[in-house]
Amino acid sequence: MQTLVINTHPTPGNKEHFSQKLLDMFLEKYDGRFDRKDLEILNLYAANVPRLDANMLSMWEAQASGREMTAKELEIEAAQKQLLQQFKRNHRIVIAAPTHNFMITSAMKDYMDNILIARETFRYTQTGSEGLMNDDYKMLLLVASGSIYTNNDRYTPLEMQHYYVKEMFTNIMAFNAFDIVRAQGTATLPAAQVLDSAKEQLDRAFVSFYQ
């Protein structure tokens, strides 16, 4: 199964981080069932991910108007096209993420600005928008957090990361399924307890993810 793993941590591969521990768990399960040739790993902080700035806005304007692009605009267009093609050819998307200030990392926001493209992953309609990624696309969020956000207390509505990711993938792009595996309470609970709980969640999620 074609799978894209997106690592959103600023220091990918650091075994001390729980989002990396979650990713390693996933990869171990993946290797037990599939061939690595069908898996791509994108480390966002080591990749060429254009930022939504004046240059990207200018590139979009050039695309819309048909004017000749500058060298910088052509560079941004090529990088964005490559990210979009990679994203769309993988029907299983895994995001390994820390929780920074209750939200996605800045590199993940940059990435979303390169894949949430009208007429590519969604389209505008007279009644709002319609997702275009509805051909058996599934998304799995592996998220680590120092706090616990599932106790229905004051912290629960503050954790915006999974709300944002879920809505963008399922509501806007029309992914067929979304699931989440949490390694939470890493700042207060024993590591073994956190990882045991995460492993149980992943065991369940992995089955439905690849059905």
Q: What is the pLDDT of residue 163?
A: 96
In the chain, where do the E strands start and end? Answer: 3-7, 39-43, 92-98, 122-125, 128-131, 138-145, 177-184
The DSSP bridge partners found for residue 43 are 7
Widest pairwise Cα distance in the chain: 58
Q: What is the pLDDT of residue 1?
A: 84
* Gap between the Cα atoms of 46 and 70, Å rounded: 25
Q: What is the pLDDT of residue 196?
A: 98
* Gap between the Cα atoms of 167 and 15, Å rounded: 30
Torsion of CA 102, 105, 110, 112, to 10 degrees: -60
Burial (0-12, 13-18, 19+ Cβ within 10 Å), 199: middle
Q: What is the pLDDT of residue 191?
A: 97
pLDDT by residue for the chain (211 residues), tens only, comes to 899 999 999 999 999 999 999 999 999 999 999 999 999 999 999 999 999 999 999 999 999 999 999 999 999 999 999 999 999 999 999 999 999 999 999 999 999 999 999 999 999 999 999 999 999 999 999 999 999 999 999 999 999 999 999 999 999 999 999 999 999 999 999 999 999 999 999 999 999 999 9
- Residue showing tokens 């009644």: 127
